[in-house]
Amino acid sequence: MFRKILVANRGEIAVRILRACRELGIETVAVHSDVDADAFHVKLADESVCIGPAAVRESYLNIPAILSAAKITGADAVHPGYGFLAENDRFAELTGHSGIRFIGPAASAIRTMGNKKEARRHVAAAGVPVVPGMDISSETDPREVIEKVGLPLMIKAAAGGGGKGMRLVREAEDLPRALSRATSEAMASFGSGEVYAERYLEGVHHVEIQVAGDRYGNVIHLGERDCSSQRRHQKLLEEAPSPVVTPELRRAMGQAAVRAARSVDYDTVGTVEFLLLPPDEFYFLEMNTRIQVEHSVTEELTGVDLVKLQITLAAGNRLEIPSFDEIPSRHVLECRINAEDYTKGFLPRGGTIRTFHLPGGPGIRIDTHIYAGYRIPVNYDSLLMKIIAVGHDRNEAIVRMRRALEELVVEGVPTTAPFHLRFLEDETFRQGKVDTGYVERWLGSIQ
C-alpha cells in the first residue's frame, strides 16, 4: 500500500480522496493555489504545498509544480480526482517517469478514450454499438455528411467534453457555419480543432455504466446511473438505478461497457457512457477514464467505496467483487448544488458563506468542501456540494431529497437548491421519463 498520496485537485473531490486516504492509514499532501490557502482540503491534509496563483494554468494545471510538490514531500502516488489533469495522458506519463504512481489508468488508455473519434473506432472494433457518424473538416462536402449521417446531426470536438465544441445542425444550409463555430470553439477550449459529425438522437436517456478493472485482466461493472437531467450537456441530477433500464438491458449495457474497458486493458475505476433510445437501443457516447462527480450514487447503491477501490487497485490489489447484474433493492438520487442563480440562466456567483447548515437524518449523505466563513473563489467550478438521498424505492428517495433541500441553509451566495426543489415536483420527472432535452424544455415552460 502507498505511504503518502498527493491529491492533485481541490474542492469536494479533494476532500473525498483525503478522507479515503485517512481511512486507509495513508498520509496525505494537498496542493493549492494562493486563493485556496484557506480551503477545507488544505486544512484536512497532513501537509500542503502552494503550487501557484489562482489561474488554473499556473496552479492546478501546472504539471511541473505538482510533480515537484510530490517529490519534495515524498509522495509515492498522485490522485488526480476529476477535472483538471485527471484525463491528461502527458501528466500520467510524466508522473510514472518521476517514479510516482498515477492513481488512474495507463496513459495509452487515457489517450485512446480521450479522443472521441478514436474512442468510437476502438469500441466499435470491440463490438460496442456506436451512433452513426463520420470525420469531417472544413473541406468535407456537406452533401456527403448529410447523406452518410443524416439530419439532425451533432458536430462534436474530438478532444472535447463539457458541451464545448458542439453544435446541433437541423438544416443542411446551417452545416458550414456550425462546423466553423464548433472548430473554433474546439481549438480555443482544447487546443485542437479536430471534429466529427454524429447522428443526433432525440428523446434519448443518458445512461452510464460504472466499471472497474485490475492489472490482472479482470473487469467488472457496478450497474448504471441515469444522468438525463442535464442542461447544456451539464449534469444537474443523477440517479440509480435508471427508471428506464430493465435487468436484461442492464446486463447487455454492462457487458458492452466491460468490452469497451477491456479493449484498452483498463485497470482502475471509470465510466462508460451510453445514449439509450427506449426501450432497448443503446449507443456508446464516451468513456471517462477517471472518477466521476456522481460516483457517490453508485457507492450508496452498491456499498462499494469507489475511491478506496481506485487506490487499492493502483497499489496492485485484485478485484474481489463480481459485476452487479442484480442491483440492491434501493434507489439513490444526487443533486448537484452549485453557487449559481438558476433564475438568471444559472449564472455562477462567488462570495462568502455567512451562514451554513447541512441537512441530515435517515438516508442523507453530503459531500462538500465549504464551511461558514469560507470565501468561494470565482476562478473555479461552482459546485458547492452534492446531496445524496437513499430510499427503499424511488419515491422515498425523492421525499428524502425534498426534505434535505428544505433543511439546507446557505447564506452568502445563491444556490441551485430552489431549482431542484421545483424540478422534483415535475410530473415527468416523477414518472421517470426525463430525456436529455427535457430540462431545457421545462425551464422554457416555467419562465
181 is catalytic: no
> Cα angle vertex 367, ends 11, 385, to 5°?
65
Maximum CA extent, the chain:
61
Q: Is 429 helix (H, G, I), strand (E, B) or coil?
A: helix
444 contact partners, CB below 8 Å, separation of at least 6: none
For residues 211 and 258, the answer to whether their CB atoms sit within 8 Å is yes
Cα–Cα distance for residue pair 387/123, rounded to 1 Å: 34
β-pair partners for 389: 333, 364
Work out whether strand 133-136 and strand 195-199 pair parallel, antiparallel, or are unpaired. Answer: antiparallel
Cell of 236: 444537474
378 contact partners, CB below 8 Å, separation of at least 6: 348, 349, 350
Marked catalytic residue, from 10, 290, 330, 400 = 290
Cell of 312: 487499492
For residues 297 and 238, the answer to whether their CB atoms sit within 8 Å is yes
Catalytic residue positions?
290
